[in-house]
Amino acid sequence: TQYISCYCFIIFIAFLEIKTFTVKKDPGAQYFCPDNWIGFQDKCYYFSKEEGDWNSSTYNCLSQNADLVMIDTIEEKDFLKRYKCASDHWIWRDMTKDQTGQWVNGSIVNNWFNMTGNEICFYLNEDGVAKARCYTERKWICRKRMH
């Protein structure tokens, strides 16, 4: 009985170790962005070198399992402005019925953007966010989660 209780104890400890090992996240795990993408916080960003209209820019992002960037925070906006250089980049499109900007995923744009113009496609420029005709060719920024 002494040996049986010892074996049961060892099996119990081994079970706990296995359970703990599978439940814990690896604190040393590293997440990477694909080549030619830049990481910021938990997302990866691709700044295109070529230009395209809004539709082809969106298609390009989707073909890379990403979306045109949706700016969620002021920090993210500052990061994008810092890395985009002097070029203007497509970011999102559409207006809701009350003329507020809407991201490609349907969520409403934060009100800290200074938007100008009457068009429905938007791009990031030196001053912030501006509107333009969707067929205008510009560079674009794609965003996806880090893996």
Which CATH number characterizes residue 137's domain? 3.10.100.10
* 54 in Cβ contact with 139 (< 8 Å): no
Instruction: Give this prediction's pTM.
Output: 0.64
Residue 11 falls within a domain, yes or no? no
Residue 121 falls within a domain, yes or no? yes
The count of domains in the chain is 1
Residue 89 falls within a domain, yes or no? yes
pLDDT digits (tens, 9 = 90+) for 16-47: 343 333 333 445 556 789 999 999 999 999 99
Residue 4 falls within a domain, yes or no? no
What pLDDT sits at residue 22? 33
Q: Which residues form the domain of 86?
A: 29-145
pLDDT digits (tens, 9 = 90+) for 81-138: 787 765 655 565 544 444 455 554 555 555 545 555 555 787 787 777 777 888 889 8
Dihedral (CA of 54, 59, 64, 70) sign: positive
